[in-house]
Amino acid sequence: MSKKDKKKGHDLDEGPGNLKSLNKKELLQRAKKFSEQYCIGDNKEFRLKGRSTLDSLDEKKTDVKKTLKMGVKALAAMQDILYAQDKWSVLLIFQAMDAAGKDGAIKHVMSGINPQGCQVSSFKGPSSEELDHDYLWRCQKHLPERGRIGIFNRSYYEEVLVVRVHEQILKGQKIPEKLVTKDIWENRFEDIRNFEKYLNRNGTIVIKFFLNLSKEEQKKRFIERVDNPDKNWKFSAADAKERGYWDDYMFAYEELIKNTSTKKSPWYVIPADDKYHARIAIASAVIHALDGMDLEYPKVSEEKIAELNAVKQALLDEDN
């Protein structure tokens, strides 16, 4: 966002109640304040237990939808500048239990983004080719280019998550036996911190979201997927089976968050039982991160301006 735009403070949209006449500066302040409550930063004492899975906004549902619409509009405007400037890139990582709403969050929060400036990559079980490389390799191939927002729907964090819960998977990764020690998870946490530090130093901002869904809400959503024919494709017996490892997953999430959340590459633990609330929190965090880049449209030289004016004059003269 340009400093000039920050000073002007143009109205973004007509919203409800206290959102009416909200200008850019106020929206940025609101996004920062709202998202910071979910940011873990470099808190090494983080505990997942007791973290809320359901937060509610002090607004009606219709107002919440308008708030999200405003956030999407602001995000789209900032992404346009990011793309034009072509220096920074942003990597958004989404991790969660099944049915937590990752796909919906990506769809709605990024709905206003120019497709040319955004790329989404989903990661499932690794292929034989991917197993012949280090575990970061397949994700490195999908890192966003400068000027773009990259989205990872699951990521290299699966290597300290599902692989930790199901250690038999580790045995199939072709790693020399003497390297598979009791310290392997701490080693991988260190690798990931270093990798993200490397990305930061090269202009890629990494923001990570854990959609914190309650076990009760997951059960409800699973049943809805079974009952709704249009959602049957989203559900499989494997999803229900993984639910049996809930406590193991919660432990693994807590460990990876407290060991890999840093000030520059933070984790946001987002209450996910309310989908609209989760989407607003995610949009707020991304807006806050983009604002920290001091984005500006590229400056045009006087020579270029003179050239453009000459082209304009030539076009006007065609009518004479």
Coil/strand/helix, residue 230: helix
Q: Which pLDDT value is given to residue 214?
A: 97
Pick from 117, 103, 27, 32: which is nearest to 66 by CA? Answer: 27
261: buried, middle or exposed (CB in 10 Å: 19+, 13-18, 0-12)? buried
Q: Which pLDDT value is given to residue 18?
A: 41
Q: Which pLDDT value is given to residue 58?
A: 62
Q: Which pLDDT value is given to residue 8?
A: 37
- Report the alpha-carbon distance of residue 59 to residue 41 in Å, rounded: 28
Q: Which pLDDT value is given to residue 59?
A: 60
**Assigned token pair, 50:** 């007791």
Q: Which pLDDT value is given to residue 9?
A: 35
- The amino acid at 202: N
**What stretches in the chain show pLDDT beneath 70?**
1-22, 56-63, 320
Mean of the per-residue pLDDT values of the chain:
88
What tens digit of pLDDT does each residue of 135-146 get?
999 999 999 999
Coil/strand/helix, residue 95: strand
Q: Which pLDDT value is given to residue 23?
A: 74
**Alpha-carbon distances, residue 21 vs 7, 9, 70, 143, 204 (angstroms):** 15, 10, 11, 38, 33
pTM for this model (two decimals): 0.88
Q: Which pLDDT value is given to residue 163?
A: 96
